[in-house]
Amino acid sequence: MLTVTLNAAVDKTYRVDGFCLDRVFRVEAGRVVAGGKGINVARVLHTLGVPVVATGFLGGHNGAFILDSLQQEGIPGDFVWTQGESRVCLAVIDPIAGTQTELNEIGPFIHPEEVSALEQKLAQLLPQFAYVTLSGSAPPGVPTDFHARVIHLAHQAGVRVVLDSSGELLRHGVEAVPWMVKPNRAELSAIFGREPADVDEARQMAHQLLEKGIEIAVVTLGKQGALWASAEGEWFAQPPEVEFVSAVGSGDSMLAAMLYAFIQGMSPPDILRWGVAAGAANAAVFGAGFCTREQIEALVPQVAVKAFDRHLAKPQYK
């Protein structure tokens, strides 16, 4: 598995009880790790025993920290180095109020020659893998059709592409027809110009994605659950109750677990069940993608999965 992170970050997560503005807080609990959506995906894949390589852009002292952290975790990295400094993302978790406040730097400017260098690296790397994930945002300077260009390269190499991005990157990427997409409500608006009002409209949007030639569309709806649509059918999964700590990285954990389940040959409802369990497991730990296999497995039986009758509006138990 190859994961691509265009906007890797040093992720800092702090727990601050009673967090509010215009005050000074002494942080007693925090975690500083290598981050970025593709890196989070790589971390969970590695935890589940899936061979994975992380690539993308890194720069400066922060980039060196990210690469060193990945090496310590046992995750190989093969990155393009940039002139700018990799960004820092800060999340403040207040367990009392149940809030999560994020401050994310936009990332360094990526020069045209650096964009070309990553494209060349991907052209060399892709034939070595069966799957590639394109996750997250892009820093300034990266063309909005970058993911679409990588998808075309992957098609030429016979590699399945999983797209989990946003904005124009997602919109252009969808038109290049990846194998799987995993948008949330807000990300669907980049494709369709509006967010789905309910599960039924999310289903309609998923159908339109399949009509483009995409094989699997997974729409995440936060605490409400997640929808799977493919030629095999449609399923809806509701997450189990967990003691919430942080949602940072839950979508990435979900994606990684679904890919693990897919390559294990599981059925679509079980793939979705594993994904939702991993997202919930991640929400119960501190730091993105640090849930364990045991934590995920414990939640898998607690995920309620319903099958949709394609002629009915609501899911039916099968």
Catalytic positions, written as ranges = 252
CB 286 within 8 A of CB 29: yes
Residue 255 in tokens: 């994606």
Residue corresponding to tokens 């820093």 = 139
Cα distances from 301 to residues 50, 235, 275, 276, in angstroms, run: 22, 16, 12, 11
Gap between the Cα atoms of 83 and 236, Å rounded: 45
Give CA–CA dist 12/29, Å, rounded: 11
First to last CA, the chain: 33
d(CA 147, CA 255): 17
